[in-house]
Structure 1
Amino acid sequence: MDSMITAAARLLATGDLLGALKRVALRSDAPALALRGIAMAQLGDLPRAKVLLKTAARGFGAKEPVARARCLVAEAEIALVSRDLTWPAKTLTSAREVLEAHDDRLNAAHARHLEARRLLLIGHLDEAEGLLAQVDPAPLPPSLRTAHELVVGGIAIRRLRTNAARAALRRAKNSAREAGIPALEAEVEAVSQVLKTPAARLIGQGDERFLLLEEVEAVLTSGALVVDACRYVVRNGDELVSLSTRPVLFALARALAQNWPGDMSRNALVARAFRAKEADESHRARLRVEIGRLRGELHRIADVDATKRGFVLAPRRANEVVILAPPVEEQNGEILAFLADGEAWSSSALAIAIGASPRTVQRALDALAEAGKVQSFGRGPARRWTIPSLPGFPSTLLLPGPLPNE
């Protein structure tokens, strides 16, 4: 590597993007193209950066596997930032294995962090933790230590372990300050805002209030019977009953919890669960069947007792029943929650993250666009979706993934 490439690489590592570009802007060899691609990505010109990195990777070819693997890792990072979840994850894994085989530990660690960030984004927390467990952050430079702690903090946030998340973000902030890269410090600050932003609403006995993430954690460990409308489960301590695939049963559980300690009339339950304006005999018969099913699902933590006018929820151990709801509840709330990160998402990436079909997601995006809640730019495969203004709440509790204590 010649002195000009070395100088540009050093400037790039310190965040001096324009200084790096000045040294390689007129060159078209593979190393220069790779550095230009990384610089353009950091400046925000992602399409141009992708073209430069692809050209550089072809230029390096099979004769220079390490340099080619580094270009692939950079491409993977661009795909992650641009929320292109269709970019082949196996390619990143293969590139990381090449870097590890050639003892390029720093770039291999960076590749591993990117894999973990992708898994975190789509809610595969156990796999992300498994990747991080194989990385010792101590010998890494400050920028990579920051990336490591951001992923650790992100996993802790998803698992509602706020003390662990706060400690990881504190370490990330110190490492980012040591690295001296303003963009990295800004990223840490943006993630830290999740701990300061309402993450849910607590509803119980006619009262309703917003909760921070640490307060959500406290509610889940309080011993109360929690009807969790963020994850569609009913929970009492470590006992979890998932109703995510039983929407009618969950609607009944939530309606009963909202009226606790009082009962709820049969007509009101029919209206809530079946969306029927007037209850006839067929609705009442169906209600009896669904209540029986709900009793069967909740038998370990609660019963559903009949009263003269309807039914009442009767916890077996808990002294209180509360509802944990998202800060904003509306149709297609999951899509809005993912778009709340401020990034531009493709419809295919949203489908992967949510676990729905691309057609379903596209219909939802079209409906949200008609309502003025989302906007798109680009056409065809390059089309991306954003929200005009952030609704002010994190997607933490809406992301798929394991529950706390699982």
Structure 2
Amino acid sequence: MDSLITAAALALAAGDPLGALKRVALRDDAPALALRGIAMARLGDFVRAKDLLRRAGRAFGPKEAVARARCVVAEAEIALVSRDLSFPKRALAAARATLDAHGDALNAAHAGYLEIRRLLLIGSLDEAERMLAGLDPSPLPPALRVGHELVVAGIAMRRLRTKPAREAIARAGDAARRTGIAALAAEVDSTARLLTTPAARLIARGSERSLLLEEVEALMGSKALVVDACRYVVRDVSTTIALTTRPVLFALARALGEAWPNDVSRGELIARAFRGKQADESHRARLRVEIGRLRRALRPLAELSATPDGFVLKPHGRREVAVLALPVDEEHAEVLAFLADGEAWSSSALSVALGASQRTVQRALDALAASGKVQSVGRARARRWITPPVPGFTTTLLLPALLPNG
């Protein structure tokens, strides 16, 4: 490796992409193309970066398997940052295996953390934790240690374990300071802010207030019966009843939870569950059927009793009822929560992350665009959706796909 390539690589390692480009900007050999691609990615030009890395991968000879694998890993990182969740997992896994086989443990570990970050982004916590358990962070240099600790913090926050999350963020901050790279320190600060930003709203006894993630954790560990409107479940500390696929039942449960300890009239329940339709005899008959279904579903946690005007929720034992809602009640709130990270998302990536059809996501985006809450850039397959951070939204910490097992 010649001196310019070495100098450019050192500049990139120190967080100086412009310094790297000054040394290799006019070169088209494979190592220079790879370094130029990484530098362009650091500067935010992902399209140019991907093109350069692909050219570099083709330019490396058949005996340079490690170099080609590193290009694949760099391209996967660009895909993750640019929210291209369609990047082939097999290619990344093959690159990681190649790097492992040739003794490049650090880049192999980096490839593993990229896959874990992708799993974390789409809410596959169990698989992310299994992969994380198979990685040894002890030999990692400070820059990679930052990534490791942020992954640990991300999983802990989504599991509602704020103390381990704070400890991991503190370790990430120490590692970021040792690197001297401002971008890493900014990423740590951004993650730390999630713990001081409202993550949800608590609605109980006719009033509501914002909750930090730590307070959500305390609520979930209390004796209260919680109607969780973030993840569409009704739960207490030991039992969780999922209503994710039963929206009418959940709408009834939420209405009853918000009114507790008072009852809710039949007319209001019909309006909440059946989207504002005027009550007639057919709706009253359907309400009786749905209340029966909800009564059976909630039997382990509560009873539903008829009153002269409607129905009332009666939890087993002497305990409170609380509704946990998103920080802002907004149609298509789940889509806005993903876009609130400030990155540009494609509809296909949102579809993967939300576990919904691309057509459903596109309809939501069109509705949000019509109301001026999101905007698109690019056309056709290059079209991306962006929005400024939405006031009141943290991130996707409490969305349905992130529901902890058990």
TM range (shorter): over 0.9
1:275 positional shift: 3.0
CA distance in 1, matches of 2:24, 2:183: 22
Deviations 1:19-78 (A, max 9, x none): 222221221110111011111110111111111100000011432110000000000000
Q: Figure out how many residues of one structure are paired with residues of the other and give that number.
A: 406
Distance 1:287 1:227, change over 3 A: same
Q: Which blocks of at least 5 consecutive residues in structure 1 are unaligned?
A: none
Percent identity over the alignment is 68
C-alpha contact (below 8 Å) 2:339/2:389 kept by paired residues:
no
Deviations 1:144-167 (A, max 9, x none): 000000111011111111111111
CA distance in 1, matches of 2:202, 2:288: 29
CA distance in 1, matches of 2:263, 2:316: 16
What is the TM-score normalised by the length of structure 2?
A: 0.97
Deviations 1:222-254 (A, max 9, x none): 110000000000001120000011111111111
1:340 alignment counterpart? 340
1:380 positional shift: 1.2
1:392 positional shift: 4.1
Partner of 1:329, secondary structure, is coil
1:225 alignment counterpart? 225
Matches within 5 A, 1:3-402: 3-317=3-317, 319-402=319-402
Deviations 1:331-385 (A, max 9, x none): 1111100000000001110111111111111121111111100011111111111
CA distance in 1, matches of 2:61, 2:89: 20
C-alpha contact (below 8 Å) 1:238/1:405 kept by paired residues:
no
Distance 1:70 1:313, change over 3 A: same
CA distance in 1, matches of 2:217, 2:397: 11
C-alpha contact (below 8 Å) 1:342/1:390 kept by paired residues:
no
Question: Which one is further off, 274-283 or 376-385?
Answer: 274-283
Question: Which one is further off, 142-151 or 265-274?
Answer: 265-274
CA distance in 1, matches of 2:184, 2:57: 26
C-alpha contact (below 8 Å) 1:160/1:217 kept by paired residues:
yes
CA distance in 1, matches of 2:81, 2:126: 22
Partner of 1:209, secondary structure, is strand
Partner of 2:361, secondary structure, is helix
C-alpha contact (below 8 Å) 1:263/1:307 kept by paired residues:
yes
Q: Which amino acid aligns with 1:171?
A: R
C-alpha contact (below 8 Å) 2:12/2:39 kept by paired residues:
yes
C-alpha contact (below 8 Å) 2:229/2:326 kept by paired residues:
yes
Deviations 1:244-278 (A, max 9, x none): 11111111111111111111222221222123453
Q: Which amino acid aligns with 1:2?
A: D
Question: Which one is further off, 66-75 or 379-388?
Answer: 379-388
CA distance in 2, matches of 1:312, 1:399: 27
What is the TM-score normalised by the length of structure 1?
A: 0.97
CA distance in 2, matches of 1:405, 1:83: 26
Partner of 2:401, secondary structure, is coil
1:184 positional shift: 0.4
CA distance in 2, matches of 1:366, 1:402: 25
1:109 positional shift: 0.8
Question: Which one is further off, 125-134 or 201-210?
Answer: 125-134
Q: Which blocks of at least 5 consecutive residues in structure 2 are unaligned?
A: none
CA distance in 2, matches of 1:91, 1:31: 20
C-alpha contact (below 8 Å) 1:236/1:318 kept by paired residues:
no
CA distance in 2, matches of 1:249, 1:326: 19
Q: Which amino acid aligns with 2:51?
A: V
CA distance in 2, matches of 1:329, 1:342: 20
